[in-house]
Amino acid sequence: MEINLTNKTAIITGAGQGIGLRMAEMLHASGANIILNDVDDALCKAAAAKIGNRCLGMTGDSSDPFFIEKMVNKAVETFGQLNIAIANAGITLFGKFSTYPVTDFERVMDVNLRGTFYLAQCASNQMIKQSSGGSLLFTSSVTGHQAHENLAAYSMTKAGIEMLAKNLVSEISEHGINVNCIAPGATLTERTLQDPDYTATWTKLTPMNRPGTVDDVASAAVFLVSDQARHITGQSLVIDGGWSAMSPSPY
């Protein structure tokens, strides 16, 4: 199945590396114009340069509503419209529930929940103004479905993101906008590969005998924001090689 996104414009937050960058690359290869965001300026510039033509890097905090509005306006000014918004930026701060720091809690809530909510709000308002429909996609996590030690705050945000997607169905479907989530499980990225045991551990725990790759996750994302998925909305797609069906613990 060939996906054609020619002349469509997508915003992707948290796309300087890993899953977000691979989403941006695949969307671009399918014809989309890209507004690529990351809070790390060096990563953002390098990622945008790697993709090249029709990709604009915007460094900034994706949990800031004013910066989100700036990205949406820039997408319209540069490419004429906004059709796809992917709230991929997220932060994981591990810690025991009983001693979890207030500062860590607030940062996780800001990036994961606040950033997703306001990108969805600002992007969908622009899509409604255009009267041409569109797609929203949120990056959740398998931990929004299954409990995981030391991730109480993070897991709460991911479950909340999925409930946001369901709730928006009642408010934006009439405008031709669909909204879905992807929920990756163990995935090989620059961050997870900092753990030298990560690949071996998750190969043993995953029924498909390997952790996921960024291609596994990004391929699903591109499908969900394409015209082929227009009648799919309010859903969360778990991409974990079967782990959550059995849920063996890594501890």
141 is catalytic: yes
Listed in sequence order, the residues at least 6 apart from 87 whose beta carbon sits closer than 8 Å to its beta carbon are: 13, 62, 115, 116, 119, 120, 136, 137, 138, 139, 161
DSSP annotation of 228 reads G
| Residue 111 near residue 47 (C-beta atoms within 8 A) | no
Q: In what order do the strands lie in the sheet with 177-184?
A: 55-59, 33-38, 9-12, 84-87, 134-139, 177-184, 236-239
Catalytic residue chosen out of the listed positions 154, 155, 198, 236? 154
Q: How far is Cα 58 from Cα 73, in angstroms, rounded to an integer? A: 12
8 is catalytic: no
Listed in sequence order, the residues at least 6 apart from 39 whose beta carbon sits closer than 8 Å to its beta carbon are: 14, 59, 60, 61, 62, 89
Q: How far is Cα 205 from Cα 87, in angstroms, rounded to an integer? A: 28
CA atoms within 13 A on the CB side of 227: 10
| Residue 214 near residue 18 (C-beta atoms within 8 A) | yes
Q: How far is Cα 158 from Cα 106, in angstroms, rounded to an integer? A: 15
Q: How far is Cα 171 from Cα 176, in angstroms, rounded to an integer? A: 10
Catalytic residue chosen out of the listed positions 62, 155, 158, 236? 158
Catalytic residue chosen out of the listed positions 63, 140, 141, 226? 141
158 is catalytic: yes
Cite the active site residues. Answer: 141, 154, 158
